[in-house]
Structure 1
Amino acid sequence: MAEHEHGSMNYEPQQKTFDGFMTFVTRSAVVILAILVLLAIFAG
Structure 2
Amino acid sequence: MSDYKHGEMDITAQEKTFNGFLKAATYVAGASVVVLLFLAIFNS
TM-score over 0.5 for the pair:
yes
| Structure 2: 5+ residue stretches without partners | none
- Quote the RMSD (CA, aligned, Å): 1.3
> Size of the alignment, in residue pairs?
44
Q: Which runs of at least 4 in structure 1 moved beyond 4 Å after TM superposition? A: none
Are positions 1:21 and 2:24 aligned together?
A: no
| Structure 1: 5+ residue stretches without partners | none
In the alignment, the residues of structure 2 paired with residue 6 and residue 40 of structure 1 have an alpha-carbon distance, to the nearest angstrom, of 51
Q: TM-score, normalised by structure 1?
A: 0.89
Q: TM-score, normalised by structure 2?
A: 0.89
